[in-house]
Amino acid sequence: MKRHISILGLIFAITVLVSCGNRQNENTPEPTKKNTYKPIEALKEPTRLEKMGMTEKQVRFEDDTPEAQQLIIPASQMINQKSYKTAIEFLDKYIALRPDRAIAYMMRGFAQTETENYTNALVNMDKVLSITPENNYARMLKGICHLKLKQLPEAWAAFGNVIKKEPKNMLAYYNRGQVLAFMERYKEALTDFNEAIRLQPDYAPAYNNRGNVKFLAGDKEGACDDWQRSMEMGNTASEKSYITHCQQSGKKK
């Protein structure tokens, strides 16, 4: 799966998230009127660790004891190497020494998100926000975790809070559009996908998922146009829907 780097200065973080990578070419089942909404995947904040303050250099705190430094610096290295479970073990010990360090909770929550421990990740994001209320990366990660847990009202609220702080955060609109689609609020979902595309016109997943919503809302021609645009941008996730609903039906040549 290709990774797509977007412009969000955000956060997810965000978001979140978080991960820092966006998946474009996932084999997404084509939507049907009987099925629920089929997105590519809830995206995480595409910025890398530097924007989230997690690099080895950024976690060298002068007021840390040598013992504490020997925990948080390796944790950063482990996250960079995607050794998330080991990173969590180091961070558990570090937080016992420095329970006031917001970035440690951010790192642990990020690692928990990557290991699909979304419930505990939410606890850590709340802790981050209690220490640093301005941290929009934590808000984006919260939205992603709620979405993964199918907690749609909470996910909707989290992404909305990101947008209040950063009204030009493309991924927040994209992710909230996915939440609204799952809630079958298609008109509102289209509004969010439209805004995501306005903010970043070259973001193929937004065209794919907007096409899915248009199809479910009865706009087959508009869906085919979006899937075709997504494919032209290199997103193979749209191919199955396009072939099934556009080419085979004779809607598109």
pLDDT at residue 33, rounded to an integer: 54
Tens of pLDDT, residues 76-85: 999 999 999 9
Number of domains in the chain: 1
- Domain assignment present for residue 209? The answer is yes
pLDDT at residue 30, rounded to an integer: 52
pLDDT at residue 48, rounded to an integer: 57
Tens of pLDDT, residues 44-71: 544 557 778 888 899 999 999 999 999 9
CB neighbour list of residue 93: distance below 8 Å, 6 or more residues apart? 71
User: Does residue 23 or residue 12 have the better pLDDT?
Assistant: 23
- Domain assignment present for residue 180? The answer is yes
- Domain assignment present for residue 179? The answer is yes
Hey, what amino acid is at 76?
Answer: S
pLDDT at residue 6, rounded to an integer: 31
Of 204, 245, 165, the closest CA to residue 39 belongs to 204
CB atoms within 10 A of CB 11: 30
- Domain assignment present for residue 148? The answer is yes
pLDDT at 41 over 70: no
Of 201, 249, 252, the closest CA to residue 228 belongs to 252
Provide the residue range defining the domain that includes 195: 117-247
Rounded CA gap, 20 and 49, in Å? 8
**Mean pLDDT (the chain, rounded):** 84
Average pLDDT over residues 176-190: 97
Tens of pLDDT, residues 100-130: 999 999 999 999 999 999 999 999 999 999 9
Percent of the chain predicted with pLDDT > 90: 73
- Domain assignment present for residue 130? The answer is yes
- Domain assignment present for residue 38? The answer is no
Q: What is the CATH number of the domain that holds 236?
A: 1.25.40.10
- Domain assignment present for residue 190? The answer is yes
Q: Label residue 220 exposed, middle or buried (CB < 10 Å: 0-12, 13-18, 19+).
A: middle
Tens of pLDDT, residues 222-239: 999 999 999 999 988 899
pLDDT at residue 11, rounded to an integer: 30
- Domain assignment present for residue 9? The answer is no
pLDDT at residue 135, rounded to an integer: 94
Tens of pLDDT, residues 145-180: 999 999 999 999 999 999 999 999 999 999 999 999
User: Does residue 96 or residue 39 have the better pLDDT?
Assistant: 96
Q: What are phi and psi of 81, to 5 degrees?
A: -90, 0
CB neighbour list of residue 201: distance below 8 Å, 6 or more residues apart? none
